[in-house]
Chain A
Amino acid sequence: MELSHKDLLGIEQLTAQEISLILDTAVSMKEVSAREIKKVPTLRGKTIISMFYEPSTRTRTSFEIAGKRLSADVINISASSSSVVKGETLEDTGRNLQAMNPDLLIVRHACAGAPKLLADALPTPVINAGDGSHEHPTQALLDAFTIRERLETLAGRSVLIVGDILHSRVARSNILLLNKMGAAVRVCGPLTMMPRAVEQLGVEYVPCLTDAVRDADVIMMLRIQKERQQGARFPNEREYSRFFGLNRAVLRHARGDVLIMHPGPVNRGVEISPDVMSLPYSIILDQVTNGVAVRMALMYLLTGK
């Protein structure tokens, strides 16, 4: 069993079997991070270049740690310190990096489709680390891994995603993945932040948060993405927080053991209240830990012949 595509551009391209393969491989990879010496020689001599054209702490660090735990050489390029500022196009940057024989490229870009542009132009495998409002497949995979770790399976689970579904690549990738794995997805948020005909994504839209949390196994809160919004989608943060923020009062309508997730970075007090973040069923930091294992699995699976 292996992945059928050279690249990982989105969850859309993966089959349920491929998703399971990635998650199962990540279980084995997680053991490496628990060791005293957190390194295996698997990708010795491989070069991984990560190109981040958008700010990131978690994802970039996670990829870098994942590569280093597998003994690959990881080089980070960020837009501000690269030739982008001199006017080089993305494709030219890609071709120049390709000339140095990397084994894997990791790309985050504000434009949807940027990783695909590179993947089509270059023979090297490309992992999409988030492209505009399109997809963020590694986030969805680590979310799935974290849910599976707690609830054993994804099939039959009910997952609620709250926030800006329209602009969120995390939401899009998660909806695709959860549907493929047989989970039921509900979304909630202001109507101004819902794609038109949101049901066509295979989700149920529930406008009121206290109704939406009922019987959910997992609540995934999304970040209000100030950088991706044009115009006013809601009057102000305080009002957003009153209607769509997760707090203890809302959680009284939910199951006592509902898992609370957030892809980070968190706007404390806006989409989620600080006391909820520290509840025992809040697994926000588990998501970060598991991100390394999932990315190790992908690096391993994509650097084969």
Chain B
Amino acid sequence: MEQIIIMDGPDIDRTLKRMAHEIWERNRGGDNFYLIGIRRRGVTIANRIARKLQEFEGVTIPVGALDINLYRDDLSEIASQPVIKKTEIPFPVTGAKILLCDDVLFTGRTIRAALAGIIDMGRPQVIRLLALIDRGHRELPIQPNYVGTVVSTSRDESVEVMLAEDDGIDQVIITRGEINGAES
């Protein structure tokens, strides 16, 4: 098993700053703009983006948290039922411009589940997608609007985003060999 750190704390922060500027450039002055993070690290990323928008532009963008496990398409295939965390969307979804945030974009199945989950709560005007890492290997026609870094990987590698709030440290690691599975 071989581990390579591809991003450290300052790298992640720089990338999030750049994405926050990009987001504001495209959504400036718009009403009903909200962030929704996919539990759990997507929520952390959404919170950090919201904090940066507050810092740079003085705007407060509400952040929601979405647990996609009730919408997974592989529940009858995986060994044990995933633990379900609470979905908390503190704003009306109908008519909203939503930026969906996740840490790693891989097959696209998590995003499909998230879209189904959001649409069950109402009819947003638009949903856009942000991912800190895009590692390729899509199985569905899903593309991000904002990407931190594109990393070329092989299927048997695993990409792990660690964030201080969840894991005590900021870094992105690629692990090669032995691990054979998709991360959520």
Contacts and interface: CB of A to CB of B under 8 A. Distances in A.
Interface of A: 1-2, 21, 24-25, 27-29, 31-32, 35-37, 39-42, 45, 70, 300-301, 303-305
Given A2-B81, A41-B71, A41-B116, A31 B121 contact: no
Nearest to B117: A40
Given A24-B83, A28-B85, A305-B80, A42 B121 contact: no
Q: Which of A1, A29, A305 counts the most B-chain CB atoms under 10 A from its CB?
A: A305
B134 interface: no
A149 to B, nearest CB: 13
Contacts of A1: 80, 83
B88 interface: yes
Contacts of B69: 42
6 contacts: A24-B83, A31-B86, A36-B121, A40-B71, A41-B70, A304-B80
Chain B facing A: main interface SS: loop
Chain A interface secondary structure, helix, strand, loop or mixed?
loop
Given A2-B81, A31-B87, A300-B81, 10 more contacts: A28-B70, A37-B121, A40-B120, A42-B69, A42-B75, A300-B84, A304-B79, A305-B78, A305-B79, A305-B80
A31 B120 contact: no
B143 to A, nearest CB: 24
Interface in B54-74: 67, 69-72
Contacts of B120: 35, 37, 39-40
B122 interface: yes
Contacts of B67: 28
Nearest to B73: A41
B75 A304 contact: yes
A27 to B, nearest CB: 6
Nearest 5 pairs of A and B residues by beta carbon: A304-B81, A2-B80, A40-B70, A28-B84, A42-B70
Contacts of B75: 42, 304
Given A41-B71, A41-B116, A31 B88 contact: yes
A290 to B, nearest CB: 15
B79 A21 contact: no
A27 B86 contact: yes
Nearest to A70: B70
A70 B120 CA distance: 13
Nearest to B75: A42
Contacts of A25: 83-84
Contact of B122 (A21, A24, A32, A36): A36
Given A35-B120, A37-B120, A29 B78 contact: no
Contacts of A300: 70, 81, 84
Nearest to B119: A37
Contacts of A45: 76
A305 B77 CA distance: 8
A35 B121 contact: yes
Contact of A28 (B78, B80, B86): B86
A29 B84 contact: yes
Nearest to A44: B75
Contacts of A2: 80-81
Nearest to A39: B120
A2 B83 CA distance: 8
Contacts of A24: 83
B72 to A, nearest CB: 8
A25 B86 CA distance: 8
